[in-house]
């Protein structure tokens, strides 16, 4: 009997004993294609020799030094690398140990920024329905996933939510993408005015929504309109790239495709590639200067931030991501994945939408293609798809509650960037069979 409190109690989970490239092997000798990178984490696959050697080398130097006493060469190097590859305007880095920590830190930075510049009345956070920003209390409160929030609602800090940019379901008949983007921007502006134009501190959004909607990107100039509203009312724009960043959508930062500059960006998952737990917040010079010229401290911290071995792993991951051929390959493989999914599932009566960017693709499952009606939640279609896929040697990331936190099902795919064409085809073949089997029973 296990002594671990597993996510789902009483399940007989396979034991992973080895990983190589895009495959994980269990204790029974079964091999699984990691079609979701775990949770969009393993961007370079498993047991990448360059990353493993970088970690070993760092262990031989120093494994841990608390950041209240020391900095390290490897942490400084990682920060410099991130600033070099980031869009201009993201000038500083705060290292953490994961995505939820990164979001918590970004929220605290936003609040402290306004305290430092004499606008301590600013306190409201606005995010979007059906978003996901992490599982700590502050991050969970910021996220708009109804199912994840429900039982913890009484202890969550007050936050506010507007509509997601979810064209498949929420763009109205006859509405153009431009009209839809303008309508959503007007909704955000109305919420800012309702809360008080000098009391909102941040708007938080994923450039491409991951876990809760399944690789949903924005339409038209949505984010340019959002940036304009934030500037108009002096609000900080926080973009959460924990899942969609670090090359996942075909560019190192997903925001590069939107032509805007946020004030804060959170990254994790692909930053460490699963080799070590690590995340980061990237911040603009104006926020850094407010701290530096004000109190001189950022009132926050965790024990393992800036961990040398984690920094060494991430530094090597970033070095590999910067090789031009890798992002080119990611784009090509993403196109192949989309084309394969369209061919295998595009005409399926139970597939409503296939979407995404790069190697970040989502498939929305429906009971009726014409009306977009979802399956009854009691059927747990997403759970069945996961089970059927695992039986066929495929890891994917299905989720329920796509539409409103209760109704709807989707599957997220986020394979390693090193994947090859024939492996893409295997993912498509196994996933199509898994979806068909899940819907049939």
Domain boundaries, the chain: 16-34+324-440, 53-321
Into which CATH architecture does domain 16-34+324-440 fall?
Alpha-Beta Complex (3.90)
pLDDT tens digits, residue range 130-175? 999 999 999 999 999 999 999 999 999 999 999 999 999 999 999 9
| pLDDT band for position 254 (cuts 50, 70, 90) | very high
301: left (phi over 0), alpha (psi -120 to 50) or beta: left
Longest dimension (CA), the chain: 63
pLDDT tens digits, residue range 279-305? 999 999 999 999 999 999 999 999 999
Predicted local confidence at residue 441, as pLDDT: 83
Tokens of 344: 């295998």
**CB 268 within 8 Å of CB 43:** no
Given a cut of 90, whether residue 11 has pLDDT beyond it is no
Predicted local confidence at residue 409, as pLDDT: 98
Summary mean pLDDT of the chain: 97
**CB 223 within 8 Å of CB 204:** no
3-class SS at 303? Answer: coil
| pLDDT band for position 324 (cuts 50, 70, 90) | confident
**CB 400 within 8 Å of CB 409:** yes
**CB 318 within 8 Å of CB 82:** yes
Residues in the chain: 441
| pLDDT band for position 180 (cuts 50, 70, 90) | very high
The sign of the CA dihedral 309, 99, 323, 82 is: negative
Closest CA to 130 of 111, 145, 147: 145
Closest CA to 313 of 358, 268, 281: 268
pLDDT tens digits, residue range 330-374? 999 999 999 999 999 999 999 999 999 999 999 999 999 999 999
| pLDDT band for position 71 (cuts 50, 70, 90) | very high
Alpha-carbon separation of residue 61 from 95, 108, 169, 303 (angstroms): 20, 33, 53, 20
| pLDDT band for position 118 (cuts 50, 70, 90) | very high
3-class SS at 352? Answer: strand
Closest CA to 124 of 227, 199, 185: 199
Phi and psi (nearest 5°) for 103?
A: -65, -45
Give residue 175's Cα distance to chain centre.
28
- Rounded to an integer, the average pLDDT of 261-277 is 98
N- to C-terminal Cα separation, the chain? 31
**Domain 53-321 class in CATH:** alpha beta
| pLDDT band for position 1 (cuts 50, 70, 90) | confident
Given a cut of 90, whether residue 234 has pLDDT beyond it is yes
The Cα 23–Cα 415 span in angstroms is 10
Count the helix, strand and coil residues of the chain and give each as a percent rounded to the nearest 5. Answer: 40, 15, 40
The Cα 44–Cα 246 span in angstroms is 11
């Amino acid at each position: 009997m296990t002594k671990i409190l597993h996510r789902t109690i009483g399940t007989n989970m396979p034991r992973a004993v080895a990983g190589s490239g895009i495959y994980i092997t269990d204790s029974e000798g079964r091999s699984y294609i990691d079609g979701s990178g775990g949770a969009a984490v393993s961007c370079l696959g498993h047991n990448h020799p360059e990353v493993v050697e970088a970690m070993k080398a760092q262990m031989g130097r120093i494994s841990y030094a608390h950041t209240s006493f020391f900095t390290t060469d490897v942490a400084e190097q990682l920060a410099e690398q991130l600033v070099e590859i980031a869009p201009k305007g993201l000038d500083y880095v705060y290292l953490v140990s994961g995505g939820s920590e990164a979001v918590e830190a970004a929220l605290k930075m936003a609040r402290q920024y306004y305290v430092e510049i004499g606008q301590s009345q600013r306190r409201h956070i606005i995010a979007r329905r059906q978003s996901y920003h992490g599982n700590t209390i502050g991050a969970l409160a910021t996220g708009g996933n109804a199912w994840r929030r429900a039982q913890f609602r009484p202890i969550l800090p007050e936050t506010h939510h507007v509509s997601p940019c979810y064209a498949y379901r929420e763009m109205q008949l006859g509405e153009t993408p431009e009209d839809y983007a303008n309508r959503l921007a007007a909704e955000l502006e109305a919420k800012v005015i309702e809360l008080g134009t000098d009391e909102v501190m941040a708007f938080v959004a994923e450039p491409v929504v991951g876990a809760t909607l399944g690789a949903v990107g924005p339409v038209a100039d949505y984010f340019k309109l959002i940036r304009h509203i934030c500037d108009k009312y002096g609000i900080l724009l926080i973009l959460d790239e924990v899942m969609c960043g670090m090359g996942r959508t075909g560019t190192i930062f997903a925001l590069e495709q939107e032509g805007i500059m946020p004030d804060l960006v959170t990254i994790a998952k692909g930053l460490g590639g699963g080799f070590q737990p690590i995340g980061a917040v990237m911040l603009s010079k104006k926020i850094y200067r407010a701290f530096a010229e004000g109190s001189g401290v950022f009132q926050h911290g965790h024990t393992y931030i800036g961990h040398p071995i984690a920094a060494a792993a991430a530094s090597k991951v970033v070095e590999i991501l910067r090789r031009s051929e890798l992002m080119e390959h990611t784009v090509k493989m993403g196109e192949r994945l989309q084309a394969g999914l369209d061919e295998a599932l595009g005409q399926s009566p139970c597939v409503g939408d296939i979407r995404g960017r790069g190697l970040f693709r989502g498939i929305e499952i429906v009971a009726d293609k014409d009306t977009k009606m979802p399956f009854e939640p009691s059927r747990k279609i997403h759970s069945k798809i996961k089970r059927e896929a695992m039986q066929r040697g495929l890891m994917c990331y299905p989720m329920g509650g796509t539409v409103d936190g209760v109704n709807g099902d989707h599957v997220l795919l986020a394979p390693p960037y090193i994947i090859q064409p024939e492996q893409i085809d295997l993912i498509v073949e196994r996933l199509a069979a898994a979806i068909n089997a899940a819907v049939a029973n």
